[in-house]
Amino acid sequence: MKFLKTRRKRKRILNSDLDMGILSEKKLLIGVSGGIASYKVCEVIRQLTDLGASVQVVLTKHAANFVTALTFETLTNQPALTEMFPEDGMVATRHIDVPRMVDRLLICPATANLIGKIANGIADDLLSSMIMVAGAEKTTVCPAMNTDMWFNPIVQKNVDALRELGYSFIDPGFGELACRTEGIGKLASVERIVSRMRIELLYSNVFKGKNFLITAGPTREFLDPVRYLTNASSGKMGYALAEAALSRGANVKLITGPTVLDTPEGATLIEVNNAVEMEEAVKISYPSTDILVMAAAVADYAPIRASRSKIKKGKDDLTLGLRRTPDILGSLAKSKEERIHVGFAMETENLIANARKKIQEKNLDLIVANNLLVEGAGFETDTNVVTIIDREGGEMSLPNMSKRELALTIMDEVAAFVGTRSSQIKSAIHV
Ligand code: CTP
């Protein structure tokens, strides 16, 4: 990640001595399964215990071939658990008691085998039984494996099934793998894992009582009953943002152009066709909105006249007259008051300069900028490569990641903004 000026300032605050003890009320269970990346979890534990978290490890028998229970016990100061059937003095129901007592369960690394077990309801050892007790809401999964294993359709199907159930994922990154090949499958960096756990432990309910208005998808500007101008937006980014806000306790209204996506559980869906309808829907809900996220790819132009009947072809060429559609986000710049406004910028050149201009012109707090020409970025993919820019000029370039993980990261940034406005969250961030 590239942190520029103001971002560095915020990072320094987060990593200062003031941070020590920030997680002191939090209990974390870390499930370690048998992959070579399990050695990296030692550093994750170190950093989380430095922040005050109480950490206990449960490891599979295969994991114990890579890192011993003794290492984890030394780092956590707590017994590291492996056996389903406990030794003397330990209760036989600990596979239920321990996950119930903790605030979160982090599975790190999660092998293809373990992911398969969770997705198929198999609980044949202590870790998989504890995962079944903890359930989707409490669990974060950090996969790490060889690229071929990761892209094996069975693994991808299992991952998708778990995401659908609400398990939170920290996606593997790209890099050199233990098998000496390069590809996707490397455990996410320690920095990413610690930062996500910190957010999930502190802010799982950070948006409770907050009203989000999120727009998604394309608009269709009809020329006649069968033809329209549109763009390639799939709506995946906006829907992922709705899910991410819901997972942190928000009330979410999702105003969407035409998509084929399922409504996120718990969201209020408002379906629209064109830019004018989207503007009307946004303006109706805006007075009760705390946070507006405009992820929709609103058409900037619509046919001046839409014909009521199908336009028949003639001998000559046809020239279309287009008029500007309303700039929904721009038109709310002056009514913003204490609300938080997040916009998106899709560019093919001068990404940062154009995005900064849009922050000023549309009076935004954050803008998520992507270059449509970068591989992995753009409309129809499941991934995106973006830079998030805040109104003070702070800039954070993120690696290629799934739209779902990106949505969580954007919500982390929104949470930081809510934090600057709400004393309760502010103290959680800075104390
Ligand atoms: N947007 C909007 N209404 C429009 C067009 C865009 O509210 N009619 C919002 C988008 O949802 C996005 C942001 O404004 O959050 C930026 O959109 P973008 O199309 O990138 O920028 P434009 O302002 O339309 O400028 P241009 O197309 O010239 O880059």
Contacts of 425 (CB under 8 A, 6+ apart): 203, 206, 415, 418, 419
Q: Is 139 helix (H, G, I), strand (E, B) or coil?
A: strand
Q: Is 327 in the pocket of ligand 1 (CB under 6 A)?
A: yes
Q: Which pLDDT belongs to residue 90?
A: 66
Tokens in use for 334? 């002056």
Q: Among 3.40.50.1950, 3.40.50.1980, 3.40.50.1100, 3.40.960.10, what is the CATH number of 27-199? A: 3.40.50.1950
Q: Is 369 in the pocket of ligand 1 (CB under 6 A)?
A: no
pLDDT above 60 (res 3): no
Range with the poorest average pLDDT among 11-25, 187-201, 367-381: 11-25
Q: Which pLDDT belongs to residue 16?
A: 44
The percentage of residues in the chain with a pLDDT greater than 90, rounded to a whole number, is 69
CA 10 – CA 3 distance, rounded (Å): 10
Q: Which pLDDT belongs to residue 14?
A: 41
Q: Which pLDDT belongs to residue 430?
A: 28
pLDDT above 50 (res 290): yes
Sign of the torsion angle spanned by Cα atoms 58, 60, 66, 68: positive
Q: Which pLDDT belongs to residue 248?
A: 87
Q: Is 342 helix (H, G, I), strand (E, B) or coil?
A: strand
Bridge partners (DSSP) of residue 57 are 30
Q: Where in the chain is the domain with CATH 3.40.50.10300?
A: 204-306+320-430
- Could you tell me which CATH class the domain 204-306+320-430 is placed in? alpha beta
Q: Is 294 in the pocket of ligand 1 (CB under 6 A)?
A: yes
Instruction: For 128-162, write each residue's pLDDT tens digit.
Output: 999 999 999 899 999 999 999 999 999 999 999 99
pLDDT above 80 (res 204): no
Q: Which residue has the higher pLDDT, 3 or 386?
A: 386
- CA distances 4 to 18, 76, 269, 324, Å, are 22, 34, 37, 36
Closest residue CA from atom 12 of ligand 1: 344
Q: Which residue has the higher pLDDT, 221 or 431?
A: 221
- The atom of ligand 1 lying closest to the CA of 345 is 20
Instruction: For 262-279, write each residue's pLDDT tens digit.
Output: 998 888 999 999 999 999
Best residue for ligand 1 mutational test, from 220, 342, 344 (most atoms within 8 Å of Cβ): 344
Would you say how long the chain is, in residues? 431
Catalytic residue check, 179: yes
Contact 142, 109 (CB under 8 A): yes
235 — pLDDT class (breaks 50, 70, 90): very high
Q: Which pLDDT belongs to residue 249?
A: 87
Angle subtended at Cα 47 by Cα 431 and Cα 2, rounded to the nearest 5 degrees? 80
CA 17 – CA 12 distance, rounded (Å): 10
**What is the average pLDDT value for the chain, to the nearest integer?**
89
Sign of the torsion angle spanned by Cα atoms 193, 196, 202, 205: negative
Instruction: For 32-68, write each residue's pLDDT tens digit.
Output: 999 999 999 999 999 999 999 999 999 999 999 999 9
What end-to-end distance do the CA atoms of the chain give, in Å?
Answer: 24
pLDDT above 90 (res 376): no
Q: Which pLDDT belongs to residue 416?
A: 84
Q: Which pLDDT belongs to residue 9?
A: 38
Mean pLDDT value across residues 251-261:
96
Q: Which pLDDT belongs to residue 18?
A: 52
Q: Which pLDDT belongs to residue 89?
A: 64
CA of 310 to the centre of ligand 1 (A): 30
Instruction: For 82-126, write each residue's pLDDT tens digit.
Output: 998 876 666 678 899 999 999 999 999 999 999 999 999 999 999
- The atom of ligand 1 lying closest to the CA of 361 is 23
Q: Which residue has the higher pLDDT, 17 or 111?
A: 111
Closest residue CA from atom 6 of ligand 1: 298
CA of 364 to the centre of ligand 1 (A): 12
Contact 325, 221 (CB under 8 A): yes
176 — pLDDT class (breaks 50, 70, 90): confident
Residue type at 364 in one-letter notation:
L
Q: Is 329 in the pocket of ligand 1 (CB under 6 A)?
A: yes
Q: Which pLDDT belongs to residue 261?
A: 95
Mean pLDDT value across residues 165-182:
87
Closest residue CA from atom 8 of ligand 1: 327
Q: Where in the chain is the domain with CATH 3.40.50.1950?
A: 27-199
Q: Which pLDDT belongs to residue 277?
A: 98
Q: Is 405 helix (H, G, I), strand (E, B) or coil?
A: helix
Q: Which pLDDT belongs to residue 431?
A: 24
- The atom of ligand 1 lying closest to the CA of 326 is 8
- Most confident range (mean pLDDT) of 12-21, 236-245, 385-394, 409-418 is 236-245
